[in-house]
């Protein structure tokens, strides 16, 4: 959801958490062995760890920008384990993983979709260009194995380009689930609301089941019968003499 005013508190909390995790990575780094021992929180905290200052500046800077632009708290809960799990499964040779870049690719997709839905004119064009750019970047880096923006900087470890693609795919999957949930809720409301199409049939059934009304003779017919009867009686009665 696009917000009209920036919310600095989540951004400040992110900077503080990423700083603490980067200064003491032992308890936060996403390590395969520690994860196998049940330390599942590393699927979230491992993305906060950064090996060098450049790594920290790039990832946290983009993360703060996306936090101020788009408010999707649930994305920060869903994307990290998707990215971390995908990397560890696809790369069994990896001992550990760190960094926010994979999560940020997914958040960029979510931001682009939100801007495209709510914007008009140039805003929608810019959102479309952003979506096309992040999709192309993730595919190119995954195929060529070359970084588009950070190739000349020391990141302190191997850049896992598969994480970028996993973030994009995870975000698209989240959007699909969100769309399906909205349709399901709408269909549920439509089924629970009282229908108006059954009213005519109910009224027709009531009309068919009601007994036929007996026709009473009209007042004019009654008066005619009475007059005719009295006429016959006067004709039969002898007149006194």
Q: What is the pLDDT along the chain (241 residues), one digit of tens a residue?
A: 444 445 688 889 999 999 999 999 999 999 999 999 999 999 999 999 999 998 999 999 999 998 887 777 889 999 999 999 999 999 999 999 999 999 999 999 999 998 898 888 898 999 999 999 999 999 998 888 877 776 666 677 888 999 999 999 999 999 999 889 888 888 877 776 655 444 444 445 455 555 555 454 444 443 332 333 433 333 333 444 3
For residue 1, the SS3 value is coil
Q: Pairing relation of β-strands 30-31 and 96-97?
A: antiparallel
Residue-wise pLDDT for 71-119, tens only, equals: 778 899 999 999 999 999 999 999 999 999 999 999 999 999 988 988 8
User: What structural domains does the chain harbor?
Assistant: 8-190 (1.20.1540.10)
Strand boundaries in 21-112, DSSP class E: 30-31, 96-97
| Total-model pTM | 0.72
Distance of CA 197 to the CA centre of its chain: 31
Beta bridge partners of 193: none
Identify which of 133, 98, 80 has the alpha carbon closest to the alpha carbon of residue 22: 98
3-state secondary structure string, 84-100?
HHHHHHHCCCCCEECCC
């Amino acid at each position: 959801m696009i917000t009209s005013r920036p919310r600095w508190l989540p951004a400040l909390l992110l900077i503080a958490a990423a700083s603490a995790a980067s200064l003491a990575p032992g308890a936060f780094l996403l390590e395969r062995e520690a994860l196998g021992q049940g330390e599942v929180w590393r699927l979230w905290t491992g993305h906060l760890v950064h090996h060098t200052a450049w790594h920290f500046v790039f990832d946290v800077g983009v993360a703060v920008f996306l936090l101020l632009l788009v408010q999707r708290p649930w994305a920060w809960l869903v994307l990290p384990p998707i990215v971390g799990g995908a990397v560890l499964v696809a790369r069994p040779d990896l001992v550990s993983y760190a960094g926010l870049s994979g999560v940020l690719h997914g958040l960029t997709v979510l931001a682009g979709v939100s801007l495209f839905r709510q914007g008009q004119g140039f805003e929608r064009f810019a959102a479309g260009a952003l979506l096309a750019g992040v999709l192309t970047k993730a595919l190119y880096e995954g195929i060529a194995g070359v970084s588009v923006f950070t190739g000349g900087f020391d990141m302190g470890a191997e850049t896992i380009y598969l994480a970028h693609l996993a973030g994009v795919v995870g975000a698209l999957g989240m959007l699909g689930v969100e769309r399906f949930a909205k349709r399901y809720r709408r269909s549920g409301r439509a089924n629970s609301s009282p229908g108006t199409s059954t009213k005519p049939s109910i009224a027709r059934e009531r009309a068919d089941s009601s007994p036929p009304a007996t026709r009473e003779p009209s007042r004019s017919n009654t008066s005619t019968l009475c007059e005719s009867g009295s006429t016959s009686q006067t004709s039969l009665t002898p007149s006194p003499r």
